[in-house]
Structure 1
Amino acid sequence: MLSVYVDLALGLVVSFLLLSLLVSGINEAFVRMLAIRSKFLWAYLRDTMDGSDAQGRSWLPAKVRDVFAALPFVRDPRPKHSDQPPPPEPGTLPAQESKAEDAMVNLLYQRVQEIDHPKKGRTSISNIPPARFAVALMELAAGEPDGVEGFLEKLKAMRSPLYGHLKGVWETAQRDLDRFRQGVESWFDGEMQRLSMLYKRYVKWVLAVLGVVVTLVFTMDGLEYAKTLLRDNAFRASVTAVAGSGTDAYNELKARCTGGDPVPCVTETLSQPALVKMLDHALVSVSFPAEGDPSVHWNGGLWWQRITTPSHWPGFLLTYVALLFGASFWWDVLRRLTGIKSRR
């Protein structure tokens, strides 16, 4: 009896894991296609180093709706890609900056463009190591006649938000260049961690929406799926019992399966797991016949009937809540149930 519940748990965990992986895969596809990570990074850098744009708007909006409306489709904060080698000497900062010039971001890009490759004419850099950022700032400071002091004065004259951060680091380092570089590295590392947490908060909203879409497109009723798993287990047990019970039991199985020979009926049933049966209720399903090519079926009528049936809604809600836990959670549960050890 215990094996029945183990099979049920494994079936549910595997199904939730596969659907969670699908949600994560769709999200990752959109992120890569729209270069969301790179835009997120450079929007933060523009706000931190140059401030708001010429219209006085922040490059990284605070509201979730504005982030997904602006960054992917409307505003691209990334610098233009350059296929020319970076200049050996960093450019000097202007005494005053126009908001349309974005001097600091452009100068920073020149110092890190060796790790870049083009993406639709824009930079594809989505991660700058803190050590590389600190070295780039030290290179920019070295290009000023008065070193770090002159660099800070230029930032102050440009009204760059970066001035306050670097001024504090410079004073804390007691005007020691090596300690200043380490302080800038630590500060930028903390900023990247904060930005990662902000990015994950926005991504949770995307995953929540994708979870609803995947649940409804596949009409995955978690409660119905659990019942189907139990029925499959019972059917397999009955087939096993019939196989060793003689002619009378064979006649009973023959009566249950319509047609003359129950063997094809049993074979077809056992070769179609419960998960495959549930996916047949999706908006579009694929069948693999014993002979011939696979075929695609449009299940619009059946799909709409399941969507509009209130008795399926608790199962849909169960599946949706399960998808919110994420693929990593269900993979960890599967490892614990099966004893698979994580290789680190």
Structure 2
Amino acid sequence: MDLALGLVVAFLLLSLLVSGLNEAFVRLLSIRSKFLWAYLRDTLDGVGEKSPSWLPASVRDVLLALPFGRDPRPRHSDKPAPAQLGEMPAAKTGDSMMNLLYERVREIDHAKRGRTSIANIPPERFSVAVMELAAMENGDIPEFLKKLQRIDSPLYGHLKGLWESAQGDLDRFRKGVESWFDGEMQRLSMLYRRYVKWVLAVLGLVVTLLFSMDGFEYAKTLLRDNAFRASVTAVTEAGPDAYDELRRQCTGGDPVPCVTELLSEPALVKVMGQAMVSVSIPAQGEPSVQGNLPVWWDRITTPSHWPGFLLTYVALLFGAPFWWDVFRRITGIRSRR
């Protein structure tokens, strides 16, 4: 039980670190918001020779082009949606349709370095925005669809099919747009998670090597600590013979300081102390940060540690939710809903 719980806690903490680094990276570079608006630009304004797709086509684009390249998000406006709707562009002019959509949803926005921070548009809000855009043609959906076709917007094909299936019923059309957009957001989320898995895999490798976390060595240290605690406990039952044996294990003569020192450094602290940079908390004085570059490099370049590193890396790929569930099952903690 000690071995299982110790391993689970270590993998849970490291998985949380990986998730935290990923979340910090995503929030700092506004990846979710850029991903959404790249999709909206492609869907509303289309893709052509002069306007290539904004959505990333590979993992490399997610890590480089999307965070550091051209920003697909519209510029933030702190003004509410205008009461008087703008006009539909007579010809395709880049991001015009997307700007019209942003006008209808920017009430839920707040600025982030001059750009919109919207990373999620509720399907109900999107369907209402489409109906408001259609109101530019006095609510005449067929005329609205004709203008979408005239500017060569990919949205035309989707809305035309929904309008025909609604058989001219505006309420059914609105609900159809809502269901269609909800399905598109689910598909987009699956595509986003597929790219994020690669980012988590890279971060998992970095964390494993940074802490030089050898899973097998950690398990061995857990078992050794458990055996030492058992021998200390046996002193109270076995009498002077066990005390003499404990004294021989401790080099200082008096086993009390030795036992105190060993029990105050559990296996997790010992293993984490072999990272590239470690923090030591002495019995007296302030905590100190020290570099362990020579020791860390020696561990990284020692082939006998590589199977343990591989075990830790594979464990981190399961993610923090998996290890939290295992932790709850071992400890009997029940989730409250």
Normalising by structure 2, we get a TM-score of 0.98
**In structure 1, distance between residues paired with 2:195 and 2:106:** 28
Name the residue aligned to 1:228: 221
Kindly provide the CA deviation profile for residues 132-156 of structure 1, in whole angstroms up to 9, marking residues without a partner as x.
0000000010111462112111100
Moved >4 Å (runs of 4+): none
Q: Judge conservation of contact 1:130–1:185 (CA < 8 Å) in 2.
A: yes
Name the residue aligned to 1:17: 12
**In structure 2, distance between residues paired with 1:243 and 1:271:** 20
Name the residue aligned to 2:41: 46
**1:326 is aligned to 2:319:** yes
Name the residue aligned to 1:256: 249
Secondary structure at 1:297's aligned position in 2? strand
**In structure 2, distance between residues paired with 1:273 and 1:144:** 72
Kindly provide the CA deviation profile for residues 100-142 of structure 1, in whole angstroms up to 9, marking residues without a partner as x.
xx11110111111111000000000000000000000000101
**In structure 2, distance between residues paired with 1:122 and 1:249:** 70
**In structure 1, distance between residues paired with 2:104 and 2:165:** 25
1:28-43 residue pairs with structure 2 within 5 A? 28-43=23-38
Kindly provide the CA deviation profile for residues 208-257 of structure 1, in whole angstroms up to 9, marking residues without a partner as x.
00000000000000000000000000000001112333333223222221
Identity of aligned residues (%): 74
Kindly provide the CA deviation profile for residues 74-117 of structure 1, in whole angstroms up to 9, marking residues without a partner as x.
12100000122220122121111222xx1111011111111100
Q: Judge conservation of contact 1:92–1:144 (CA < 8 Å) in 2.
A: no
Secondary structure at 2:51's aligned position in 1? coil
Name the residue aligned to 1:90: 85
Q: 1:198 aligned to 167, 191, 198, which one?
A: 191
1:126-145 residue pairs with structure 2 within 5 A? 126-145=119-138
1:285-304 residue pairs with structure 2 within 5 A? 285-304=278-297
Q: Judge conservation of contact 2:127–2:178 (CA < 8 Å) in 1.
A: yes
Query: Taking structure 1 as reference, are residues 54 and 125 closer, same or farther at Cα in structure 2, changes over 3 Å only?
Result: farther
Count of residue pairs the alignment pairs up: 337
Q: Judge conservation of contact 1:89–1:143 (CA < 8 Å) in 2.
A: no
Name the residue aligned to 1:284: 277
**In structure 1, distance between residues paired with 2:332 and 2:56:** 45
Secondary structure at 2:73's aligned position in 1? coil
**In structure 2, distance between residues paired with 1:242 and 1:202:** 56
Task: Kindly provide the amino acid, as one letter, of the partner of residue 167 in structure 2.
Answer: Q
**Stretch deviating more after TM superposition (49-58 or 219-228):** 49-58
Name the residue aligned to 1:151: 144
**Stretch deviating more after TM superposition (172-181 or 57-66):** 57-66
Q: 1:65 aligned to 57, 60, 65, which one?
A: 60
Task: Kindly provide the amino acid, as one letter, of the partner of residue 21 in structure 2.
Answer: I
Alpha-carbon deviation of 1:189? 0.2
Name the residue aligned to 2:106: 113
Name the residue aligned to 2:50: 55
**In structure 1, distance between residues paired with 2:42 and 2:253:** 75
Name the residue aligned to 1:3: none
Q: Which runs of 5+ in 1 are unaligned?
A: 1-5
Alpha-carbon deviation of 1:263? 0.8
**In structure 2, distance between residues paired with 1:237 and 1:182:** 66
Task: Kindly provide the amino acid, as one letter, of the partner of residue 25 in structure 1.
Answer: G
**In structure 1, distance between residues paired with 2:24 and 2:58:** 23
Q: Which runs of 5+ in 2 are unaligned?
A: none
Kindly provide the CA deviation profile for residues 24-66 of structure 1, in whole angstroms up to 9, marking residues without a partner as x.
0000000000000000000000000011377331000221212
Kindly provide the CA deviation profile for residues 266-312 of structure 1, in whole angstroms up to 9, marking residues without a partner as x.
00101111000000110000010010000111000000000000000
Q: 1:78 aligned to 56, 73, 82, which one?
A: 73
Normalising by structure 1, we get a TM-score of 0.96
